[in-house]
Structure 1
């Protein structure tokens, strides 16, 4: 497992932000995809790319009712080393262990590496699994653009994926009899419980929205403060309102992690400002109420500064309850390990609406994720592989 992490340790390293920046179908991601193919082929697995750019590594012949495990290799900007890669490497290691023991599966098995889980290039989290399941419209997906104005269709064509074929893939989906995703925990649950491994119980409802505040662009030196209709000031007040709205609703989370001023000059009062909101809560209703509160606060801030504001939904994922019987069976099989909910979205959550799905979490002693400080002790990583191997042995 540590060798696997070492092999990709320099791929996509971000010396400005710290950590890693590995985005869909860009240089680092393409290197990681090649690494995955090579690592899978070492185990004699048969690798194929589906119509949406997800990679499948099959142990034996592809077929229906397969036990599928895996995760992703892309990252947020400046992300940690374990979010995604730990699940992919652990899946390959668990299969390698089963092979070394002489185990022969009685049903198909595959390691699945999803494309664009983090949404860092095209703005839609879990894009590979959303396309696979039809959770996003194919035409909408093809028209998505990155920060350089490159569409998803153009990016796909450049690396040999036919954009005309992007979209729901029933042939691939119907092969999955059950999906398990192992992931580093993105929180403190296992720290507080003093446990190395847990089974996921649920995922919070979550979505992304673009807040656009429009004012009047003008000269920074020639325009007095009282004459201004400054969307940056209105946006700043709206961001403070985001924090206040979430603090006023216990258990909810709301974040502005990215802003963009137009035209973006130091001596220019912006004409408009975009800010991207991430909002999450235990239920769909709670999340919608939180976002409505944030929208009202943003409107008030805009009006006070002579501006206008709109909030546009860019992605949405309702709350997920993983299959109760399955997660309880897994928790019992692993020695009554705890069951934890998570505020982080995952491809397993997208698949859960279509096939039986489950997740394993491995303890993160820092409690930090989506940042360079993300970590997992080697002993806990091995405990995760032990757990995954045991479950695969039973299921196969």
Structure 2
């Protein structure tokens, strides 16, 4: 193992206090927040310490170049934003490992036949503007630029306004042919977000595919009213309907093998303690290895929601917010990863990643580092120091083979 491979743990330790969430536990680092901007600055400083040339493209993606920016480069990286109350490794592990892998490659004295870049994608989690992998979707054109500009956070700030406040030109957001052409191969290292590698399994796996997944907003409308003066029999309470819909989501997903469906966010309007809500918004996350099954599950949930709402004297609407079909990573690149890491298992993932978005446009692949808890998007997410070292070394092995 390279003597500098422990750099990944040192790097993670250096940002361990950035964005800590005292209320939720873990970390809250939404895009363009003070913690996320602090991490972006940290990355730029660490890249410059290594003599890498750093630039920010028109979609807010950071690029750190070993060699000159060129077409067909080898690219690795991940993201630095987090879900609310997320773990320490989702995103930053991939960025820190990429920096550490450069150190290992230099130790080995490798000769490059093309440039290498490390990227940091913004708003991968979608925790502020509601759309996951927004940076990579903009880069590839997988989202209409006008739609992206008009996305709003919980305070009503548009993505266009947030981008402008952080030095980007909103009019230039969108598919970037020049930047996309620079990616000859993309390899993303990420903490595993399940139990595929087990408590005592190997440190690293090769990514095989990403489950189809999407997000929908379910809005239940009823009659807002006074909590003290409205008799129970006279109510059309959308929150009562919403509670039943959440249970119906769980039941519908449990009835389909391989399905996952979650309501992770709920917003009653107006939200007063002594007020019967007039509307409740629920956000549904649904996933399945078979795209048709995932979409059929959502239709089943919609049908159940309509019946529940009608029984409570309410109405319901379903609004799609994002959808990404199942993705299989590039077979040739996957074989290269497996040859560079003999014996590493191949895992499918139920989590979305920037690599999954890029896979429809450039050869892409992933590495997963063991998470013994199997827990992610939570403070309990964990990677052992030895596995982090092994992940950086494995990434270096892969990059060396591809360089």
Q: Name the TM-score class by shorter chain.
A: over 0.9
**Please, which of 378, 384, 387 is the counterpart of residue 371 of structure 1?**
378
Cα distance between partner residues in 2 of 1:6 and 1:193 = 24
| Equivalent position of 1:186 in the other structure | 193
1:382 CA displacement: 1.2
Contact 1:198 1:331 in 2 (8 A): no
| Equivalent position of 1:263 in the other structure | 270
| Equivalent position of 1:165 in the other structure | 172
- Runs of 4 or more, structure 1, over 4 Å off, are none
Contact 2:340 2:401 in 1 (8 A): no
| Equivalent position of 2:4 in the other structure | none
Contact 2:211 2:288 in 1 (8 A): yes
Cα distance between partner residues in 1 of 2:117 and 2:23 = 36
Q: 1:288 to 1:193 in 2, by over 3 A?
A: farther
Contact 2:20 2:26 in 1 (8 A): yes
Q: Does 1:151 align with 2:164?
A: no
Normalised by the length of structure 2, the TM-score is: 0.97
Cα distance between partner residues in 1 of 2:329 and 2:343 = 17
1:101 CA displacement: 2.9
Q: More displaced, 100-109 or 197-206?
A: 100-109
1:2 CA displacement: 1.3
| Equivalent position of 2:302 in the other structure | 295
- Cα RMSD for the two superposed structures: 0.9
**Please, which of 252, 261, 271 is the counterpart of residue 254 of structure 1?**
261
**Please, which of 341, 359, 366 is the counterpart of residue 359 of structure 1?**
366
1:6 CA displacement: 1.2
- Count of paired positions: 396
Normalised by the length of structure 1, the TM-score is: 0.99
**Please, which of 208, 211, 214 is the counterpart of residue 207 of structure 1?**
214
| Equivalent position of 1:123 in the other structure | 130
Cα distance between partner residues in 2 of 1:303 and 1:37 = 54
Counterparts of residues 1-396 of structure 1 (less than 5 Å): 1-191=8-198, 194-396=201-403
Cα distance between partner residues in 2 of 1:290 and 1:109 = 42
User: Cα deviations across residues 258-294 of structure 1 (Å, max 9, x unaligned)?
Assistant: 0000110001000000010000000210110110011
Cα distance between partner residues in 2 of 1:361 and 1:257 = 25
- Structure 1's unaligned 5+ residue stretches are none
Cα distance between partner residues in 2 of 1:354 and 1:193 = 36
User: Cα deviations across residues 109-139 of structure 1 (Å, max 9, x unaligned)?
Assistant: 1000000000000000000000000000000
| Equivalent position of 2:5 in the other structure | none
Q: More displaced, 304-313 or 188-197?
A: 188-197
- Structure 2's unaligned 5+ residue stretches are 1-7
Contact 2:93 2:189 in 1 (8 A): yes
Cα distance between partner residues in 2 of 1:147 and 1:288 = 27
Report the 3-state secondary structure (helix = DSSP H, G, I; strand = E; otherwise coil) of the residue aligned with 1:189.
Answer: coil
